[in-house]
Structure 1
């Protein structure tokens, strides 16, 4: 988005919020961004082994630490995630807002270490992770935090003798995503979940043997005005903005998180931040 378009959107958003009253403006800036919700989704498939029945995957995304989101808030988020007792945790990009200006310290590493997931913690790059010379910095921090990077590759999640496949792509906007490379060697008979930051990539994913795509990036628009809709959604989050979609003929299941933090505009209105808890449900006959 160019500077002129951004300023127009900023002006429109501010006028819309102020126009509905000073209390609304205060709520959008100071209250709603802290009203974290826990979105629960059940994913059912015959391809999911019985062993993984009730297996829980926690997704958090777009924390944008440093832009109206603090380390203390991130620590509270970690506690909330751990209370859900997930088996596996995935982070779908944009850890800090501006990596080149962020005051990196061990506190954020310790917060990541404190996230508990017995079957693994995984992450992918978002556009802000690559932006601001953050590629290597963010990678180092996430590795120290115990997270495994999925960048055009995949990992096999095993439980007893059963498995499913967790695939991750490089960021679509600023990276070099390669879904063919990521799926190399993946048996299409195994249940396959793809992590990709930008949700609109689903229109490409639908042509590959992937069962579920999990994304962020959109922030759910951050500001939703009644009878008008989203004030702004970023590039590659304009078609699929929040919630659950069925894409293509398979169909591919797509889940888009509203994320945690804010960027560009320090507001959320009718668009609460969220983490998502996915519970796998095997419909395989015993």
Structure 2
């Protein structure tokens, strides 16, 4: 067989198959990222507290009734599960795919949900899906907080709506400040360790200025396409070569973990950017020393 025929009949088809498999894995093979967080503001007398964070499903399906994704979450044995916005996608809305995920998650642990910009834009979400989620027992955190027992005390879980839900103020920072003020306005004056659920990554300075200890965010989709050793290429609200697309970041005493998300929206492909589940393990700072 000539070299040309060998390339056409063997090497080229094999390269195409490998490329298709690579792209499929990049968009469907879920990875788990784990972060340990210790603080002297956390109560004593607990081993660890496990928070699983999901974000930006965008109505994507992972197998029949989301079972592969649900099984991965279950294996992490979370104390609570949080979802930081864009459970649905306003352009290719599929309420059933989103509902099936939540239906499976509430059987594992309590689920807390902060709404993203796609919930605001999807016509079918507020009229149909939100009522079904509430009936499941999902805690929809509409500029609200809840003190969660941990060890011999509590930590404060805060959830805020995406700025698109707020028609007051002059910009996203003003709107988010108003959301945080509403969420924390009826606190009892105590200052426990605070975990914020917010869709918007680019508003990290606002969270830090408001004294949030740990923010869990999404929205950036990991930069969609990632260049090895360089990072994400583009993120909404941050533009080209965004600063915050994944991982853990710090501003003063405040930290933020950015979830790369599960699905896609306008751009239908991920590259070097697999769908992600984040596990946050709160630990007693005294036991971490």
CA 1:228–1:54: 2 relative to 1, 3 Å: closer
SS state at 2:199 partner: coil
Deviates more, 1:274-283 or 1:139-148: 139-148
1:135 and 1:199 mapped to 2: Cα distance? 23
- 1:245 maps onto 2:245 in alignment: no
Deviation (angstroms), 1:280: 0.7
1:17 paired residue number: none
Contact 1:192-1:210 within 8 A present in 2 as well: yes
Aligned residue number for residue 269 of structure 2: 267
**What secondary structure does 1:56 align onto?**
strand
| CA-CA distance at 1:57 after TM superposition | 0.4
* 1:175-190 equivalence runs, <5 A: 175=166, 177=176, 178-186=179-187, 187-190=189-192
Secondary structure at the aligned position of 1:113 is classed as helix
Cα distance between partner residues in 1 of 2:126 and 2:106: 25
Find 1:56's aligned residue among 37, 50, 58.
50
Alpha-carbon distance in 2 for matches of 1:136, 1:73 = 22
CA contact 2:62–2:69 (8 Å) conserved in 1? no
Measured against aligned partners, the alpha-carbon deviations of 1:149-188 in whole angstroms (never above 9, x if no partner) come to 1111101112465211000111124446411111123345
Mapping of 1:29-68 within 5 angstroms?
A: 29-66=23-60
The answer to whether the 8 Å contact 1:71/1:108 transfers is no
Aligned length: 259
Native 8 Å contact 2:62 2:68 kept in 1: no
Q: Distance in 2 between matches of 1:271 and 1:89?
A: 22
Which has the higher mean CA deviation after the structures are superposed, 212-221 or 132-141?
A: 132-141
- What corresponds to 2:6 in structure 1? none
CA deviation vs aligned residue, 1:18-65 (integer Å, no higher than 9, x gap): xxx856863564221111011110010011112443110000111111
Counterpart in 1 of 2:153? 162
Evaluate the alpha carbon distance shift between residue 137 and residue 171 of structure 1 in structure 2; reply closer, same or farther with a 3 A threshold. farther
In structure 2, relative to structure 1, the CA distance for the partners of 1:23 and 1:246 (3 Å cut) is farther
Structure 2 segments unaligned to the other structure (5+ residues): 1-14, 167-174
Aligned equivalents of 1:212, 1:227: Cα separation in 2: 26
C-alpha displacement of 1:110: 4.7
User: 2:74 aligned with 1:74, yes or no?
Assistant: no
CA contact (8 A) 1:258 1:273 kept: yes
Measured on the aligned residues, the alpha-carbon RMSD in Å equals 2.6
Q: Which of 116, 122, 130 is residue 132 of structure 1 equivalent to? A: 122
Q: Is the 8 A contact 2:49 2:150 kept in 1?
A: no
| 1:88 and 2:80 are equivalent in the alignment | yes
For 2:106 and 2:156, the matched residues in 1 are separated by 20
**Structure 1 position 138, deviation (Å):** 3.6
SS at match of 1:97: coil
CA distance in 2, matches of 1:155, 1:72: 33
Partners of 2:39 and 2:284 within 8 A in 1: yes
Q: Is residue 59–residue 95 contact of structure 2 (8 Å, CA) maintained in 1?
A: no
CA distance in 2, matches of 1:222, 1:196: 19
Q: Say whether residues 1:277 and 2:271 are aligned partners.
A: no
Determine helix, strand or coil for the equivalent of 2:157.
Answer: strand
8 Å contact 1:48–1:284 — kept in the other structure?
A: no
Is the 8 Å Cα contact of residues 106 and 136 (structure 2) preserved in structure 1?
no
TM-score of the pair, normalised by structure 1 = 0.80
Deviates more, 1:28-37 or 1:271-280: 28-37
TM-score by length of 2: 0.80
Deviation, structure 1 residue 140: 1.8
**Is the CA contact (8 Å cut-off) linking 1:124 and 1:197 kept in structure 2?**
yes
